[in-house]
Structure 1
């Protein structure tokens, strides 16, 4: 199978992204799913295409949310967790582009200082492209074999990323067990992130988004008091947040090019 990106006009980049995802990500119910994960070069092809997508390609301006004073809490299958915020705060807006049982495409628009708390992506591959603005990204991967804290239900993870990313910058990719599968976003300046998730979150399939609190490695002891790291600043204890709360989010209206679905 040829994985190259065919020549496209800028106005059809969303369609090209859909078609590449359709070719790359099998449905979980498809026999082709046995070949999961997709080849690395196929993921790189999607990433390279996403690198070329601009805010204009998806119907956005870089000032879309700065003067947006909308109100209301929005709870989705993806975003269940985090602390409540003041009713007057600007919401995070999610723009839905496409979803099937194999993958989803959407955009998260974050006003300045908005936070998507630390959460995981169980069994998923995720590609994220900052379309405009700037955000701080902090991410971790689990330590294997599992190391548990001795005093509370926390699990050891290794820091993968802790820096600020500003558009334009390359698309980032996380995998089920590497690449920073657990991450949190904090917008430094109003920003938008184009996300491809494969497969999407699904409660029925057991892919449930779990939120976590991170503790410095030095704050807890490992079970059995075993010395497990030589650079403690590169590690943290992550504990699942079990109390259901809400992220201040709402669905928005996607105004970019629509996807023309087709049969494989």
Structure 2
């Protein structure tokens, strides 16, 4: 019998390979989220304490990235966010995403882009995970209510038109979440990833109202190391 994480990957492939078929996409996406809702750290054999204990403190990064599965259609990965650290505010252009916390608690601040302000790609640098910098660019967005999510909660999701920018911060200790994205980021082009901050970052705007986000360079305090996936083998079987 296939493991739960393998069934999640197979359902993700089934869902996003039929993205253009609106009559079945919504049903498949709901099935995918329902499977993701069930995921725990045990399902991917993740032990945060053991992983962190194996790393010399002087090399410890704010975030550890674990690749679970990746192809041209979908990426499935695990992010471990160290205590008090965060993934800075970033976008998911033209993407669907599902985020399932599998350990600890995270605080998520999401934004919904109001308009897709076209801009020419001229990166000043490219960071790890294909997050790209830009200069003097802004994005109008609606600031959504902040949420706290832990391993007992269901999966969160984003779409190309809803909650497609977010910042994720660990709360009261380290946290980990499984991330499903489709289509994947690309290094250069319209699906590259950009970092942002609120225009008046020192005095954040109220929720449920329009705010202006500014593209910023990759925050120097953010970087990630990588760890090896040690969960069940993912064997893709066409369906």
Query: In which range does the TM-score fall when normalised by the shorter chain?
Result: 0.7 to 0.9
Q: What TM-score do you get using the length of structure 1 for normalisation?
A: 0.73
Please tell me whether the aligned partners of residues 125 and 173 of structure 1 are also in contact (alpha carbons under 8 angstroms). Answer: yes
Q: CA–CA distance in 2 between the matches of 1:37 and 1:135?
A: 34
Structure of larger gyration radius: 1
The match for 1:14 is 5
Relative to the length of structure 2, the TM-score reads 0.80
- Deviates most, 207-216 or 235-244: 235-244
2:81 touches 2:175 (CA, 8 Å); kept in 1?
yes
Task: Name whichever of 208-217 and 169-178 sits farther off.
Answer: 208-217
Moved over 6 A (4+): none
What secondary structure sits across from 1:47 in the alignment?
Answer: helix
Q: Give me the whole-angstrom Cα distance separating, in 2, the residues matched to 1:263 and 1:17.
A: 13
Shift of 1:70: 3.9
Offset at residue 233 of structure 1 (A): 6.8
Alignment of 1:209-248 (within 5 A): 209-216=193-200, 234-242=209-217, 245=220, 247-248=222-223
| Unmatched 5+ stretches in structure 1 | 1-8, 27-31, 72-86, 147-151, 220-228
CA RMSD of aligned residues (A): 3.0
How many corresponding residue pairs? 220
- 2:31 is the alignment partner of 1:45: yes
Query: Does structure 2 conserve the Cα–Cα contact (< 8 Å) formed by 1:217 and 1:237?
Result: no
Query: CA contact under 8 A between 1:55 and 1:131: conserved in structure 2?
Result: yes
- Aligned residue among 143, 160, 163 for 1:159: 143
Alpha-carbon distance in structure 2 between the residues aligned to 1:199 and 1:161: 26
Where in structure 2 are there 5+ consecutive unaligned residues? Answer: 118-135
1:206 aligns with 2:177: no
Which is richer in strand? 2
Q: CA deviation at 1:157?
A: 1.0
Match of 2:177 in 1: 193
